[in-house]
Amino acid sequence: MDQALTPQQVSQILQIGKRTTLSLIRSGEIPARKVGGQWRVSPVALKEYLRGDVDDEPLNAADLVAIREGIEAIGRGETVSLEEYERERGL
């Protein structure tokens, strides 16, 4: 397994400042995870980011509302199959 990179290492690889790197990580533009309270970036995720393979469109307010409503519906047991969902929406 490739060793996860610290934000400092990512900054050096991209030749950008650490603040810029942290901003990209916090926004989700560079995929990362917190491990023991510290950000870590997978080398594979960084390569995908550099190739442009990452979905860099952030979630908007409507997306977040839909996600929240979906989670609440699941909690109430109100789930439907993918086929039923697509049929209801004419997809």
Token pair of 25 as six digits: 């990580």
Output phi, psi for 29, to 5 deg: -65, -40
Same domain, 19 and 41: yes
The torsion region of residue 80 among left (phi > 0), alpha (psi -120 to 50) and beta comes to beta
Domain hosting 80: range is 59-91
User: In terms of domains, do 42 and 76 share one?
Assistant: no
Q: What angle do CA 54, 73, 71 make, to 5 degrees?
A: 35
**CA distances to 13, 33, 61, 68 from 8, in Å:** 9, 15, 31, 34
Series of mean pLDDT values for 10-residue runs along the chain (91 residues): 89 95 92 93 91 73 86 86 83 79
pLDDT (0 to 100) of residue 37? 92
User: What pLDDT score does 52 carry?
Assistant: 82
Give a yes or no: residue 75 inside a domain.
yes
pLDDT at position 1, please? 57
> How much is the pLDDT for 62?
86
Kindly state whether residue 2 falls inside one of the protein's structural domains.
no
In DSSP terms, 41 is beta-bridged to 5
Q: Given this model, what pLDDT does residue 87 score?
A: 87
On whether both 11 and 44 belong to a single domain, the answer is yes
